[in-house]
Amino acid sequence: MSWFNNWTWPTRLRDKGIIGMNRRNIRYIGRYNSRRLYPLVDDKLKTKLLAQQYGITSPELIGTVTTQFGVKHIGEMLTGHPGFVIKPAKGSGGKGILVIEKVEDNTFIKPSGAKLTLTDVERHVSNILSGLYSLGGSPDVAVIETLINFDESLMDYTYEGVPDIRVIVFKGYPVMAMMRLSTAASDGKANLHQGAVGVGLNIATGAALRAVQFDRPCFSHPDTGHDLASLVVPQWETLLNLAAGCYEMTGLGYLGTDMVLDRKHGPMLLELNARPGLAIQMTNGEGLRRRLDLIERQPDGVPAKQRVAFCQHHFARQSELVESPDTTSSNA
Amino acid sequence: MSRLMFYIIVGLLLVAGIATSIHRHVQFEIPWLPGEQRQVWEIEAGINFNAQDGPVQVDLALPSHQAGYRVLTENTASSGYGLAYQADELGRTAQWTIREAAGSQTLYYSVQMLVSQDARAPAQTPPEMTPITPWESPYDTAASQLIEQAWARSANNATFARELIRDVNGERQGENARLLLSQENPAALVVRLLNQAGVLAREVSGLLLEDGRRRQTLSSWIQVFDESGEQWAIFHPLTGEQGKPENLLLWETGGRAVLEVQGGTNSRATFSMMTHDQPASAAVRNHYSEDTLLNFSIHSLPLEEQALFQTILLIPIGALMVVFLRVLVGIKTSGTFMPVLIALAFIQTTLPTGLIGFLLIVAVGLIIRNYLSYLNLLLVARVSAVIITVIAIISIFTVLAYRMGLSAGLTITFFPMIILAWTIERMSILWEEEGPKQVLIQGGGSLITAVLAYLAMNNPWVRHITFNFLGVQLILMALILLLGNYTGYRLLELRRFKPITDDEKPS
């Protein structure tokens, strides 16, 4: 019986406006994302260069490694940088990203405290180049960029890793947003299926609506214990404008933008995703369907500022974290 | 607009697929179910003659499709002779020719006839009445008397023929008949008399089929054209009994000679025959048919290629299974079509052996791959090393299984080694990055998909249908296209998104 209770009916999902994988693939990705534009977002190096061209802030590039020969020179490239991130240009799902928080006498320290030698780092770069983390195992390029000094206002809400903000941008309209908080379970990574906490964000204000871990609701960060209801993303409007601008930058109609908040530079574009996942519906407790239908009825060629204002007006919501203390206690 | 095109294409594929399948079922009697047994007669004709040191030409009449029987295959054995098959409206013949031949010669012709209730002879127009050779006196009066008596006692062509046959052969045989029999043999005499009375009739040769008989000869039968039924009725030349015995195979129906030999003496044709039952699918494989586009089939290929295609034609079934499980159910697999390849291996190894073998190879491979990751190798080198490891594991297991007397273990070599190596590589990375749980989910998903694909592909009915009805491939194509257009929820999403629907309840 309990096994049966874990399932729901398709009609109830449809009433909620939930979009399934098949619908996303055919109706949105297939229709609005032209295949020839994929390389722009699948290759993080290209995205980064394009972002610089369009004036969209993103983490500073330290350098790239393109040949196995170049791996030997990586030590020189890294000197003088206290913290950095090495990622495969064509990696997917956060695979192959190595974050080094600080360097002490030639040992590289990860956010978890694990220590790596230069050989370990070189091996990682070598793996990236041989295509271990790229789609289809094709040869790849390693991109090294500066570590983000993430905003301290959000420090309490995360464990080890950098919290990032995912905004779904549909035809240039930021339709739905969530923040991903890394946990001990997710090993400092902001991947929801690995156990990161997803917090649905109010498009109007950037305040938390609802939080889930492993697709089930939660109300405080499992590691820091910090209450999630008080979470509000600072510089929210700048962030939305940045996200909305990615539509003009790439031409992709259905886009997942991953942003981070830097202490100095404010919102920054981390990477783009032409096939954003559906977990954002879980974190918002709402299906994407109605919002996407509304946007589909809007005319083309509206400037980014107006699009953001439109969404802030139409998609405003009340937080579920503050308002229902009885649900909190029943779930505790 | 493009949606409309899509549905038109799907509709066309479905219609074409179903139509060609039904055509094959009706036209070639390929049953929808496997395992139906069909009786097949193998008949061999041996032609013996003495060649006279010169050019030789041998004409042998050949059987055609006819009521109750269908020609499957035919072969000849005749070293040094030129051979040509000829066909006209009166029937088919084989013609052997040689420039120089001496001494005793033997030529063989063998044919497989499928016993089939629905088989029909090709439509035949009644031949023109052959000019009647007039009887000399005193035979002319005897003949006309016989005709008159029989005519008076009969109502139509069929009864007239029966009465004539009785007058010529049976107890009623009179003086007139005996006189005429000195000129002609009974069957030829009856046909001549029938023709003289203006009734279309001919003498045909048939073979009474009896299992295991050798050195048989053809017997004469009389066919009379039934003016009302517009078809040939057959009569026993001695008893006048009407109707074709079930075991009678008509060999020559044109009223011509069965065997003609020029340049040889003492020629004769003898027949040996045997019958056996074989599965309908095998009978189908031997179907003799003209090469038209509609009966385009794999069966026209040599047997070896057919066996290959039997497997190839199953792959779409596996692909459909994968599409179904991924699109409608939402199972995650490691490598999209890897499960199909594993399922193909299962077909060779049988399921239990295959499952054990697969798990053993992948488990041992993962352990060794884990060690390889410490060696800090380039990807291509590492995967190559895993391939060699997989080969080593397979060899060791095969030898061990053989030593322990487990012959089933030998089939483990059917696993696609490169695919296995990549599977191990992917699983290993998955383990490092996402933990053993994801390995179990994806590995388990792949294995479940492989087992289901195997069950679908190894089903005797599915094998029979895919191999014998090429139109089914079009139907599969249409189904896959339709599935590729499905925007509804996947089964597992009903579980995944369940928490969202829960929220509404309290409020």
- What ipTM did this prediction achieve? 0.76
Q: Which of B242, B206, B201 is nearest to B224 (CA)?
A: B201
Q: Looking at B296-435, list the stretches that DSSP marks H as alpha helix, in order from N- to C-terminal side.
A: 303-312, 315-323, 338-349, 351-372, 379-403, 417-434
- A325 CB contacts (<8 Å, ≥6 apart)? none
CA distances from B2 to A28, B5, B7, B8 (A): 16, 5, 9, 10
CB A268 within 8 A of CB A148: yes
Which of A13, A26, A217 minimises the CB distance to B489? A13
Of the segments A16-30, A155-169, B394-408, which one has the largest average pLDDT value? A16-30
The number of C-beta contacts closer than 8 angstroms across A and B is 86
**Could you tell me the pLDDT band of residue B141, with boundaries at 50, 70 and 90?**
confident
Residue B417 in tokens: 């080694």
With CB atoms and an 8 Å threshold, state whether B494 touches A194.
no
What are phi and psi for residue B115, nearest 5 degrees? -75, 120
With CB atoms and an 8 Å threshold, state whether A18 touches B496.
no
Residue B428 CB neighbour total at 10 angstroms: 22
Task: Name the minimum distance, in Å, from the CA of A264 to any CA of chain B.
Answer: 32
β-pair partners for B58: B96, B261
Angle formed at CA B20 by CA B18 and CA B22, multiple of 5 degrees: 65
Mean pLDDT of chain A: 84
CA B57 to chain centre: 33
Task: Name the minimum distance, in Å, from the CA of B434 to any CA of chain A.
Answer: 7
Q: Which residues of A touch B378 (CB under 8 A)?
A: 68, 126, 130
Q: Which of A253, A292, A260 is nearest to A274 (CA)?
A: A253
DSSP symbol at A127: H
pLDDT at B26: 82
Residue type, A127: N
CATH topology of domain A151-331: D-amino Acid Aminotransferase; Chain A, domain 1 (3.30.470)
With CB atoms and an 8 Å threshold, state whether A22 touches B500.
no
Task: Name the minimum distance, in Å, from the CA of A93 to any CA of chain B.
Answer: 11
Residue B199 CB neighbour total at 10 angstroms: 22
Residue B244 in tokens: 């074709």
Three-class DSSP category at B259? strand
Rounded Cα distance, B309 and A16, in Å: 48
Q: Looking at chain A, list the stretches that DSSP marks H as alpha helix, in order from N- to C-terminal side.
A: 2-5, 10-15, 21-23, 30-32, 38-42, 44-53, 74-78, 118-129, 236-250, 279-284, 289-296, 304-314, 320-323, 325-331
Residue type, A308: V
CB B56 within 8 A of CB B101: yes
pLDDT at A9: 86
CA A125 to chain centre: 23
DSSP B263-281: SEEEEEEEEEEEEEEEEHH
Region A189-193: mean pLDDT is 75
A315, A321, A327, A330: CA torsion to nearest 10 = 150
* Residue A6: Cβ-neighbour burial (10 angstroms; 0-12, 13-18, 19+): exposed
Residue B456 in tokens: 């679908």
pLDDT digits (tens, 9 = 90+) for A20-79: 999 999 889 989 998 898 888 888 888 888 998 888 888 888 889 988 888 888 888 888
Rounded Cα distance, A108 and A120, in Å: 9
Region B363-383: mean pLDDT is 83
Residue A218 CB neighbour total at 10 angstroms: 18
Rounded Cα distance, B328 and B480, in Å: 12
pLDDT digits (tens, 9 = 90+) for B18-73: 998 898 888 777 778 776 667 788 888 888 899 888 899 999 998 888 888 888 88
Which of B380, B434, B498 minimises the CB distance to A130? B380
Three-class DSSP category at A63? strand
Rounded Cα distance, B317 and A250, in Å: 39
Task: Return the percentage of chain B with pLDDT > 90, whole number.
Answer: 12
More confident of the two residues A319 and A198: A198
More confident of the two residues B486 and B177: B486
Sketch the domain layout of chain A as residue ranges.
60-146, 151-331
Q: Which of B234, B124, B246, B136 is nearest to B187 (CA)?
A: B234
State the CATH architecture for A60-146.
2-Layer Sandwich (3.30)
Which residue of chain A is at minimal alpha-carbon distance from B489? A20
DSSP B187-218: HHHHHHHHHHTT--EEEEEEEE--TT--SB--
Residue type, B456: A
β-pair partners for A176: A168
Q: Which residue's entry shows tokens 């400037």?
A: A303
Q: Which of A232, A222, A161, A225 is nearest to A202 (CA)?
A: A232
Region B146-173: mean pLDDT is 83
Q: Which of B342, B265, B348 is nearest to B310 (CA)?
A: B348
Which of A6, A13, A92 should one mutate to test binding to chain B, selecting the residue with the greatest count of B CBs within 10 A? A13
CA distances from A52 to A166, A176, B75 (A): 20, 25, 78
Which of A22, A187, A192, A292 should one mutate to test binding to chain B, selecting the residue with the greatest count of B CBs within 10 A? A22
Which of A9, A16, A21 should one mutate to test binding to chain B, selecting the residue with the greatest count of B CBs within 10 A? A21
Which residue of chain B is at minimal alpha-carbon distance from A285? B500
pLDDT digits (tens, 9 = 90+) for A267-319: 999 888 888 888 899 888 888 999 999 999 988 888 888 999 999 898 888 77
Q: Which residues of B touch A98 (CB under 8 A)?
A: none
pLDDT at A329: 39
pLDDT at B182: 81
B155: pLDDT strictly greater than 60: yes
Q: For chain A, what is the largest distance between any 2 Cα atoms, rounded to a whole number of angstroms? A: 62
pTM beyond 0.80, yes or no: no
B286: pLDDT strictly greater than 70: no
More confident of the two residues A188 and A116: A116
β-pair partners for A107: A104
A249: pLDDT strictly greater than 80: yes
Task: Return the percentage of chain A with pLDDT > 70, whole number.
Answer: 92
Sketch the domain layout of chain B as residue ranges.
36-127+200-296, 134-198, 309-497
Task: Name the minimum distance, in Å, from the CA of B443 to any CA of chain A.
Answer: 17
With CB atoms and an 8 Å threshold, state whether A127 touches B379.
yes
Which of B6, B491, B496 should one mutate to test binding to chain A, selecting the residue with the greatest count of A CBs within 10 A? B496
